[in-house]
Amino acid sequence: MRYLKYSDIDLLPNYSQLYSRVDADTSVEFLGKKFALPIVPANMQSVVDMDLCRSMSDEGYFYIMHRFGNSLKDVVSQMNDEDWSLISVSMGVQIPDKKDLVSIAREGQRVDYITIDIAHGHCERMKIAIEAIKKFLPDTKIIAGNVCTATAVRDLHAWGADAVKVGIGQGSPCTTKYKTGFTMPMFTCVKKCSHLISGSWEDQSCEKIPTIADGGIKHNGDIAKALVAGATMAMAGGMFASCVDSPAASSNVGNVTHKAYFGSASAENKGHNNNIEGKLTNIPCNNMTVLEKMSEIKQDLQSSISYAGGKDLDAFKYNNVSYVEV
């Protein structure tokens, strides 16, 4: 079996039943809420900040605020004080994060989504972190990751995760596959991780475990490929870090504006050089705001739905779209 990246396949078009691509519905149901697009900017310090997350929430997009710089408790408190319509935050598996859960619960703060965000999510500390959220914030939806095997997805879901973030070593600023040797090409990774069910066929309680495909999204069309592979949503970093209003620092190189995009396990993010599995990459600015980029993605995804022969994101499901290896 050949293991495939998004660039290793091309999708094949079906008969279109749409009069116009603008009629295509790009909205997605994700853990009980409806969002305008099945794409979320990576929860990284060079990709999103509080201002961008607030703007995305107000516009009906899903977001995940990163876990760096401020404590989980402080971020949640600010979002509650400002009455955000959606509260979606990140945490690690450290003891301070778990103490913050107790404080948040004691103060009755609302948290809609918590993403437990670590490099290798199939581990005992992930299980303990999920159990802590379930204990102190039982109404909060849990996204856990990252992993890249079906076994890991099943385990995280069994431990209590409502959705799983899949992808290891495939993001452009990530050096995990070079430094450790461990990874899986994204299209194959998503296919293996995104067709698993919970419950049982006998009592009709089965449902697909939701996944976010994290890594390897270089072009808008890769989002459609991730959905064809089975992901519920896709996560992208560079295409948003390159926006004019991203928190990534700007610099001029040969009269071209570049943005400093770095991974969560990079020295730039950690502030030290121990256990580094990421790097800083200067990428050309795309001269769009994040919301303008989201609008462009919507238009392209509407075209993808038309090519897939559907009316909404279901067009990408049930093996409806064929592909060829290139």
**Domains delineated in the chain:** 6-325 (3.20.20.70)
Whether 174 is a known active-site residue: answer: yes
CA distance 170 to 214: 8
Three-point CA angle 226, 198, 321, nearest 5°: 30
Tell me what pLDDT residue 170 has: 84
| Token pair belonging to 115 | 């993403």
Tell me what pLDDT residue 208 has: 83
Q: Could you report the per-residue pLDDT of 269-325, keeping only the tens digit for each?
A: 656 666 656 678 889 999 999 999 999 999 999 999 999 999 999 999 878 999 999
What does 249-285 look like in DSSP terms, one character per residue? PEEEETTEEEEEEE-TTSHHHHSS-SS--B-EEEEE-
Q: Are strands 163-166 and 39-41 parallel, antiparallel or unpaired?
A: unpaired
Of residues 174, 189, 193, 243, which has the active-site annotation?
Answer: 174
pLDDT band at 244 (very low <50, low <70, confident <90, very high): very high
Mean pLDDT of all residues in 220-247: 97
Q: Specify the range with the lowest mean pLDDT, choosing from 43-47, 198-202, 215-219.
A: 198-202
Question: Residue 252 pairs with which residues in a beta bridge?
Answer: 257
Residue partners of 275: CB distance under 8 A and separation at least 6: 265
pTM of the complete model: 0.93
Percentage of residues of the chain with pLDDT beyond 70:
92
